[in-house]
Amino acid sequence: MFLGGLHDNNHVKECLMFNIDTKVFKKLSPMRSPRSAFGIVLIKNHVYAIGGSEVTGLIQSSLERYDILEDKWMDYFNLPQETIALTAV
């Protein structure tokens, strides 16, 4: 799964799934907020995008959750403080 990041110096919210067997990318629902330098973790059927940098360059405290089965993102909650370039497990 490939999420967000920067393209031509612009934050993006696109999400792609790569099938390693067919070597084909599939577009998924985009994240709710464009972001880069965020943490990501998979727990069961959910992917969490944590913090990062937003379009204006401000550091985020927001957390979004992606439901793999429904191909749907939702705002989840805000962290107690902003965070960027974190590692999540």
Residue 57 within a domain: yes
Q: What is the pLDDT of residue 10?
A: 85
Residue 87 within a domain: no
Beta bridge partners of 67: 46, 72
Q: Report, as ranges of residue numbers, the positions in the chain whose pLDDT lies below 70.
A: none
Q: The dihedral of CA 55, 56, 58, 61: what is its sign?
A: negative
- Look up the pTM and report it: 0.89
Residue 89 within a domain: no
Number of domains in the chain: 1
Residue 33 within a domain: yes
Residue 35 within a domain: yes
Strand ranges, E, within the chain: 2-3, 6-7, 10-11, 15-19, 24-28, 39-43, 46-50, 62-67, 72-78
Domain containing 40 equals 2-78
Listed residue (89, 72, 75) closest to 35, CA to CA: 75
Q: What is the pLDDT of residue 56?
A: 84
Residue 42 within a domain: yes
Residue range 48-60, pLDDT digits in tens: 999 999 888 899 9
Residue 85 within a domain: no
Residue 8 within a domain: yes
Amino acid at residue number 55? V
